[in-house]
Copies of this chain bind each other. A is one copy, B any other.
Amino acid sequence: PLSLSLYSPWKMNLASLSASLDAVASSGFVLSAEQRSCLRTSLVSLQNAEKFVSVRLWGKIIGTTHDYFIAQGVGQDSFNDVKSFYSLDCITWAQLPISHPLLAATCARIKSRFTGDPATESVVTEPGPAESEARPDVPPEVARLRSEKTNDDNTVTVTTTLTEDRRLAEAVAAIDHDVCVVPRGAFKMTPNNRVEQSKTFSGLGSFDAGQIENYFHFRKPEVLPNKPAAERVKLDPTLEFLDSLADDVPTQSWSAQLERGEVAILRSLVWPGGVVFHVPSTRLFGNVYVGLGTKNDDLAFML
């Protein structure tokens, strides 16, 4: 999740929004004065209404008729307790459904543009598991969207009908998985296994800030547990408990630049429009997304 963080990183307050916007402007993410005004006002209301510890701007997904602004509210546990919201006007916010792996896989097949109308429906037909196979436990709100059909040759076809907000939820989750990134040392693992923001983090050095191995995916680690034990023991368990960007597959998933010598910008090549920034020697870092919400499947050909 997240974005636009700061001294008390990951809180979007009066100060952090401007500072963060300054950092990501060069990547083409700008907000109008109107949008900034609206966001500041409506996100305070959202935080208050939902009793979040903090709210943050995630970015926007560009539709053909309207754009979806995405924000996230964070509860007591900044690692696990995150809810996503979308808004078409930066004023009223609606919660996005919770991502589900089955739908994630289905949505990854949709390559058409988002329209900006949450009611737009997409229909995806895909091969399902053989009739004999066990069905995974699917919650009713997901099962409701899917209909299985056994064909004449005994194969199964699954047809899923998705509204655009559902698809949006999966896109946000997928982008978060790959693009929500924090610098080394910004978060620590406490002895009782909680992920907490480090109070002593004072930023990476100018050189380190431009190296992708100093950034970690802010998600449950997936690569780390599968690393050889010999490698794992070398890691500092309080600081290096997350997947490093250096272990990303494909390997060249990021472009890193130290722009103007003053701000490190990591641009995702897998999700064009995903931007991670960090101002060296400060506590300021964050990430933001502005793009079409579709994955770049052609990376192998493009380097």
Contacts and interface: CB of A to CB of B under 8 A. Distances in A.
A162 interface: no
Contacts of A263: 14
Interface stretch (A18-26, A85-93, A243-251, A288-296): A18-26
Contacts of A6: 7, 15, 19, 282
Contact of A22 (B7, B18, B282): B18
A83 to B, nearest CB: 22
Nearest to A279: B15
A262 interface: yes
A281 B14 contact: no
A23 B14 CA distance: 8
Contact of A199 (B14, B44, B200): B200
Interface residues of A, number: 27
A149 B16 CA distance: 59
A291 to B, nearest CB: 24
Contacts of A281: 8, 13
Contacts of A262: 13-14, 44
Nearest to A22: B18
Interface string A166-200: 00000000000000000000000000000000011
A107 interface: no
A18 B23 CA distance: 10
Contacts of A125: none
Given A7-B7, A200-B199, A202-B199, A279 B14 contact: yes
A134 to B, nearest CB: 51
Given A14-B260, A18-B18, 5 more contacts: A7-B284, A8-B283, A13-B281, A14-B23, A44-B262
26 contacts: A6-B15, A6-B19, A6-B282, A7-B282, A7-B284, A8-B282, A8-B283, A13-B262, A13-B281, A13-B282, A14-B19, A14-B22, A14-B262, A14-B279, A15-B19, A15-B20, A15-B23, A15-B279, A15-B284, A16-B19, A16-B282, A18-B18, A18-B21, A19-B19, A44-B262, A199-B202
